[in-house]
Amino acid sequence: MIHSTRSFKDSEIRQDPITGKWVVLATARAKKPEDFNKGEKNKEIIPDYKQDCPFCNQEKYPQRPTTLDLPNSEDWRVRVFPNKYPAFIEKDSIAERQEGLYRAIEGVGFHEVVVGRDHNGYSYRASNTDLMYFYKALRDRYLYFTKQPTVNYVQVIENHLQGAGASLEHVHGQIFALPIVPTDEVLDLLDGAEKYYQKNKHCGYCDIIQFEKRENTRVIFENDLFILLAPFAPRVSYEQWILPKEHHSGFERLTDLELPQLVEVVKRATEGLNKGFNDPAYNMYLYSSPCDDTGSYYPQDQYAHFHWQIHIIPRMQMSAGFEMATGVEISTTLPEQDAEYLRKQF
């Protein structure tokens, strides 16, 4: 039984057209924006420099040797270095071992930290120039990692504030270069995109962009090159996606000329959350096609159907037993209303 309606009253189970994942939008339990667990009301003003911060005071807390300084090593605004406590170890080859029916491979890869000069310089507070250096650094290091023979997938993330798992207050991004292509989230996206492509003969995300532009209910902001939208089947309330309008499977293909427009959209997304919810914690994930030996540097690019993207996930609701048990998230707002609220912040 298929009805055409704006949305079902009180509870609607929506499906992501690419991954096939279900989410529950239980609006009978509706919350108003002001009922969300927001950033602290009278948060102290966070300074640009803190004596006891390991990223601010790199004389006192030496980091591992820098891999990139932008714009240069003297007047750097963004600096990249290997994580002091890395999740992956740099090596030229990957060893494997078998233990009965179990299999393990050595945790070979890279784990770098991208920091700005100012303690509280990133997300909505950063200047456009600094944010440009930030994304340029991510892109340049991303490109470097994709060319390493031990690397099959690169994950870029930013954990904003402790509520999103950030261990340091100093705003920073992290790049993980892995020897494997992760299952779950990443594989769902890749497999879903491939299946959609095979069935429809075009990219699902390009279709989403076209449809969302026409509907214009979930679009929060757009410029010539990027679109910011509230996804139809969000994992959490006020989730935002940034999609490049032109189809590209890999983030590494982002050019310097396109950076200012990406920065404009990122800023809009983070500033919307700040204005609407007083700087809540959030996670930023960048999804791009794998760089294994069938990836975008090879003639038979098996991920050409994928469309790189950024997800911004505010951490204002808690996953509980039902979500953990089923993988199905329950939210209490509709993305159409989320988009309207986030648009209104400007």
Instruction: Please identify, using beta-carbon distances, which residue of 24 and 56 lies nearer to Zn ion.
Output: 56
Nearest approach, Cβ of residue 306 and Zn ion (Å): 8
Query: Which run of H or of E encompasses 23?
Result: strand 22-25
How far is 99 from 73, CA to CA, in rounded Å?
47
Nearest approach, Cβ of residue 338 and Zn ion (Å): 23
User: Quick check: 217 and 150 in contact, CB under 8 A?
Assistant: no
Instruction: Please identify, using beta-carbon distances, which residue of 112 and 329 lies nearer to Zn ion.
Output: 112
Angle between helices 204-215 and 185-200 (to 10 degrees): 80
3-state secondary structure (DSSP) of residue 278: coil
How far is 145 from 151, CA to CA, in rounded Å?
7
Nearest approach, Cβ of residue 50 and Zn ion (Å): 5
Instruction: Please identify, using beta-carbon distances, which residue of 37 and 223 lies nearer to Zn ion.
Output: 223
N- to C-terminal Cα separation, the chain: 40
CA contacts within 13 A on the Cβ side of 20 = 10
Q: Which tokens go with 158? A: 């930013």
Q: Which residues pair with 175 in a beta bridge?
A: 112, 156
User: Quick check: 112 and 80 in contact, CB under 8 A?
Assistant: yes
Nearest approach, Cβ of residue 286 and Zn ion (Å): 16
Angle at 54 between CA 48 and CA 57, to 5 degrees: 60
- Write the DSSP symbol of residue 322: H
Are β-strands 153-160 and 172-178 bridged in parallel, bridged antiparallel, or unpaired?
A: antiparallel
Nearest approach, Cβ of residue 206 and Zn ion (Å): 3
Instruction: Please identify, using beta-carbon distances, which residue of 36 and 55 lies nearer to Zn ion.
Output: 55
Instruction: Please identify, using beta-carbon distances, which residue of 32 and 202 lies nearer to Zn ion.
Output: 202
Nearest approach, Cβ of residue 11 and Zn ion (Å): 32
Nearest approach, Cβ of residue 80 and Zn ion (Å): 15
Nearest approach, Cβ of residue 249 and Zn ion (Å): 8
SS (H, E, C) 74-142: CCCCEEEEECCCCCCECCCCCCEEEECCEEEECCECEEEEEEECCCCCCHHHCCHHHHHHHHHHHHHHH
C-alpha closest to that of 204 among 10, 19, 11: 19
Residues lying near Zn ion in the complex (CB under 5 A): 50, 53, 55-56, 119, 170, 203, 205-206, 247, 307
Instruction: Please identify, using beta-carbon distances, which residue of 58 and 345 lies nearer to Zn ion.
Output: 58
Q: Which tokens go with 185? A: 């989230």
Instruction: Please identify, using beta-carbon distances, which residue of 210 and 319 lies nearer to Zn ion.
Output: 210
Instruction: Please identify, using beta-carbon distances, which residue of 136 and 170 lies nearer to Zn ion.
Output: 170
Nearest approach, Cβ of residue 138 and Zn ion (Å): 19
User: For residue 238, which amino acid is it?
Assistant: Y
Instruction: Please identify, using beta-carbon distances, which residue of 261 and 345 lies nearer to Zn ion.
Output: 261
